[in-house]
Amino acid sequence: MTRRVVGVVVHEGDEKAAEVAKRVLEVLEEYVDEVVVYPNISYTSKKVRTLKVRGEICGEFLIAVGGDGTALRTFLAVGERDIPVMVVGTGRRNFLSSVGADLAEWGVRKVLSGDFFIKELKRIKTSSASSDYPPSLNEVYITSKRPGKSIWIDLFLSREGEGKSLFSEKMDGLIVATPTGSSAYSLAAGGSVISNELEAMSITPVCPHRKVPPLVIPMDYEVEVKADPVSYTHLRAHETSLHLVCRL
């Protein structure tokens, strides 16, 4: 018989999230062989193992207990592994939550019994001349290392070996967002909201010196950004997050 392991990530330093997580752990102990938890929430059990590093979280699925920030950090910790994430929302907006805090136990039991579906959310894979970065569920923001300093940005799009330059302009930065992230920082900067049903991503200039409109492009484009003086960044939306949602 396969050993069942589930991972739980909790909003650090949040008492409400910790209390909800303890309720979740009590349910998990009834069904699984081991629960891996980050961070320490002072819960003692032979079945519970506490991690010191979020990136070591593992399991057949993960449960993030907290707000949207906790959910995003959990998806980041998953990296390129195909591990679905259930989000128990204890924050203010809970845009990414699978269930609310009041339905935490019910939601966990539904998932453990197989009564759920998985929603695939696109992420952006980013690389530069010096680094490769974890896939981003919300957005990638390209800006100067010096706060408040504008930079020249050259934007190129390519698909199936053919590329074209879109613009070259001075601005505070550039946001490339997924449909999930289009309603966050990108929207605040004047970008468009994109339905998660669309295979698209938004490109939003931040405070350009000349009027440069936000763009919505198909996700099969590769975005190349040259930020003055020498940095190059490649962005490709081809990574998928598995968002676990309970059936009502």
Positions annotated as catalytic residues are 68
Two structure tokens written together for 173: 């930065």
Alpha-carbon torsion 48, 7, 23, 43, what sign?
Answer: positive
Contact status, residue 173 vs residue 142, Cβ threshold 8 Å: yes
Encode burial over 56-65: b for 16+ CB neighbours within 10 A, e otherwise.
ebbbebbbbb
Contact status, residue 8 vs residue 63, Cβ threshold 8 Å: yes
Alpha helices in 53-115 (DSSP H): 68-78, 104-112
